[in-house]
Amino acid sequence: MKKLLFAAVALCAANAANAATIVFNFDDLGDQVAVPVNYGGAAWSGFTTVSGFGATSFPNIAYTSSAIGILNYAAGFSSLSFAAGVFAPGTFSVYSGLGGSGTLLGSLTIGNPPASPSAFFNTGVSFSGTGRSVLVTGGADSVGWDSVTLNSVPEPESWVMLIAGFGLVGAVARRRRSIAAV
């Protein structure tokens, strides 16, 4: 009976690894503030906030304050979505390494700006693999985004615990069958 109880506890403890969703909306930052380097657990470079820009991105957005803005998320992410607004064509590129290094996994270019750049629209970058950085290019003060959403990759050790839990349950079940056969 103790073994069955132990197996049940092990099975309950070995739940699937969940990918967390991280959203950066810049609403806790002031107007015309450089996005802090370690904002929200990610590393940022080349972005500044502005408030009162568009109904769909109220109150704050982040825009490229230089020709290139970089978002680094070392833990990795499996999807990227955001609200975008552009004054000039801009590109959002996802890379497998930090700082735009490694393999280009996917990119989205927003060509001609809409009639009103302040009318942000929801979009994202489709890619396969694990992204660790996003490069936003298109020129200083011309590309903005808000509600930047990353789905992070589950930690490998969580999967190890899950597999170990299933292995333990299988071993207990096999042992019970061999004892019953004797």
CATH fold of 19-153 = Jelly Rolls (2.60.120)
Percent of all residues in the chain with a pLDDT value above 70, rounded to a whole number = 67
Tens of pLDDT along 110-130?
887 666 666 788 899 999 999
Distance of CA 121 to the CA centre of its chain: 19
Q: Is 147 helix (H, G, I), strand (E, B) or coil?
A: strand
pTM above 0.85, yes or no: no
Site of tokens 């597999």: 163
Token pair for residue 36?
Answer: 């802090």
User: What residues pair up with 93 in beta bridges, in sequence order?
Assistant: 107, 135
Distance of CA 150 to the CA centre of its chain: 2
Tens of pLDDT along 90-110?
999 999 999 999 999 999 998
Q: 82: pLDDT confidence band, cut at 50, 70 and 90?
A: very high
Percent of all residues in the chain with a pLDDT value above 90, rounded to a whole number = 49
Which pLDDT score, from 0 to 100, does residue 25 have? Answer: 92
Q: 153: pLDDT confidence band, cut at 50, 70 and 90?
A: confident
